[in-house]
Structure 1
């Protein structure tokens, strides 16, 4: 998992039972509105809600958020690809989805280069 020892830019997770959304935001370097959005996109992420719908995250939620952050920001997955990775844990399926999204972009770029080369000739 992504503990602070594996990722030097993120602080160590304190030994508390519950964390507020602001604390998790600082621990994971993700803004609160992004955390709320991820709750809708990733069914595994469901903080405890108390007192007027205030969110309280547990230690495993913080680790999960760091995993999601790594998939999206460091490995370049889309939300759908990251969700698939989190649900299945099968990197081959996720790699296929990722390639299906990247290959058309690469083809378009190469066609643009060909057009530029043809115009210069």
Structure 2
């Protein structure tokens, strides 16, 4: 029985409370999973507050599905995630990440329906780094 989770909002960072609601688990479970799954490394800021990025929230949802819906153990889920990562890397041709064009985010085409273009208060260099990190995870 699959639980319907709410859609992820278009945000850059999520607090542990937000992630807990979006993924249907308690915050203490997320802190435990950080110890068990090396893929989960939320950024920590002042006061050791955790901030999760979009790809980490998706990984948490995948872990939740493996544990709660497919019945994997923690070590089984860890192994399955490792296998999926290896399979994804081996399925691509060699050098595909190097062959991808450089990331140049362009926000000019984004706008709300029947509204003015959106304006973003984003540092282009940090956005580029984040996109390159996501690309490295995917490829």
The equivalent of 1:60 in structure 2 is 55
Q: What RMSD, in angstroms, separates the aligned Cα atoms of the two structures?
A: 1.4
2:74 is aligned with 1:79: yes
Out of 8, 15, 26, which is 1:20 matched to? 15
The structure having more radius of gyration, on CA atoms, is: 1
Q: Which has the higher contact order (CA 8 A, sep 6+)?
A: 1
SS in 1 for 2:65: helix
1:63 Cα deviation after fit: 0.2
Structure 1 segments, 4+ long, off by >3 Å, are: none
SS in 2 for 1:89: helix
Question: Structure 1 regions of 5+ residues with no counterpart?
Answer: 1-6, 91-121
When the two structures are aligned, how many residues end up with a matched partner? Answer: 84
2:29 is aligned with 1:34: yes
Question: Structure 2 regions of 5+ residues with no counterpart?
Answer: 86-139
1:52 Cα deviation after fit: 1.1
- Deviations for 1:59-103, whole angstroms, at most 9, x for unmatched residues? 00100000000000000000000000111228xxxxxxxxxxxxx
- TM-score w.r.t. length of structure 2: 0.58
SS in 2 for 1:81: helix
Tell me how far apart the structure 1 counterparts of residues 17 and 39 of structure 2 sit (CA, whole Å): 20
The equivalent of 2:4 in structure 1 is 9
SS in 2 for 1:63: helix
SS in 2 for 1:24: helix
Tell me how far apart the structure 2 counterparts of residues 73 and 8 of structure 1 sit (CA, whole Å): 10
The equivalent of 2:44 in structure 1 is 49
